[in-house]
Amino acid sequence: MQTMAETAFAELPAQFRDQMGDVVLQVEDFATPEQLASVDITDRWHLSGLYEGEPLPDQSIWQSGQLPPRIWLFREPLIAEWRETGVRMDDLVRHVVVHEAGHHFGFSDDDMHWLEDEAD
């Protein structure tokens, strides 16, 4: 799954990829309780990805000493979604990477759903 995430990240359009800076991709089986709480989710099966970090519009040159932004992918929820929907795993991973990269640029979930609807 890490390789699929890295491939999806590398396939982002250059104008976005170039602004991803030091964003780290990380894959774990499940989100931690703290990660779930940060997005008001209680069921660990309901979170397949998460962006942690300061979105670009909120970053400042005065910030220092912070961890780099991270895009987390959670393996078990993604596998469950793959089994339930039959969507190809690489397509699911790409969707999560693109969605979480959108948060890096300051897009809300509603903004991204609107953009996805417009693209269809």
Band of pLDDT at residue 93, cut at 50, 70 and 90? very high
- State the average pLDDT for the chain: 88
C-alpha 94/C-alpha 90 separation (Å) is: 6
C-alpha 102/C-alpha 120 separation (Å) is: 17
On whether the 2-119 domain is CATH 3.30.2010.20, my answer is yes
C-alpha 27/C-alpha 44 separation (Å) is: 14
C-alpha 120/C-alpha 104 separation (Å) is: 23
Structural contact between residues 119 and 98, judged by C-beta atoms closer than 8 angstroms: no
pLDDT in tens, 31-74: 999 999 999 999 999 999 999 988 776 666 666 667 789 999 99
Helix or strand run (H / E) with residue 119: helix 109-119
- 3-state class of 50 per DSSP? strand
Domain ranges (residues) in the chain: 2-119
Q: What is the pLDDT of residue 54?
A: 81
∠ CA 83-84-88, nearest 5°, is 55
